[in-house]
Structure 1
Amino acid sequence: MSDDVWTTGDIGRRLGISAERARQLSHRDGFPAPSVAHGKVRLWRPADVEQWIGEHRPDKAAG
């Protein structure tokens, strides 16, 4: 995983789910907006995703 931005693959690895499932989650209301969105490419700031994980998947929260 890159420290600068995460793909859905990175998010999936972080959560222990498939990239496809991470893509599905990324389209839900409340999921952080991507920091980069160009065509089909969407990238997220790790801190934004970690905050979402802490709020919505506390069993997967870092720390």
Structure 2
Amino acid sequence: MAEGPGELVAAGEILEMLGVGRSRFRAIQQHPNFPAPYAKLSVGSIWLKADVERYIAEHRRPRPADEDE
């Protein structure tokens, strides 16, 4: 059996990963370093989770720690 490309994520999961809303995510998608979708389906685009995680690690500032923890 052939292995798949890896774990896939859609916009909803990426919103959570980035901690942003839909309009901010649309702006982030325009960033030249944001990964291209792995595929565009009738219900929307999907990305390789590893590509999105790499983008976050390389291009997003860490969120401040919650002081209540």
TM-score normalised per structure 2 = 0.67
The unaligned stretches of length 5 or more in structure 2 are 1-5, 64-69
Match of residue 53 from structure 1: 56
Q: Which has the larger radius of gyration?
A: 2
CA RMSD of aligned residues (A): 2.1
Q: Secondary structure at the match of 2:9?
A: coil
Question: In 2, Cα distance between the equivalents of 1:14 and 1:49?
Answer: 9
How many residues are matched? 58
Dislocated runs of 4+, deviation >3 Å: none
Q: Which runs of 5+ in 1 are unaligned?
A: none
Output the TM-score relative to the length of structure 1. Answer: 0.73
Higher relative contact order (CA 8 A, sep 6+): 2
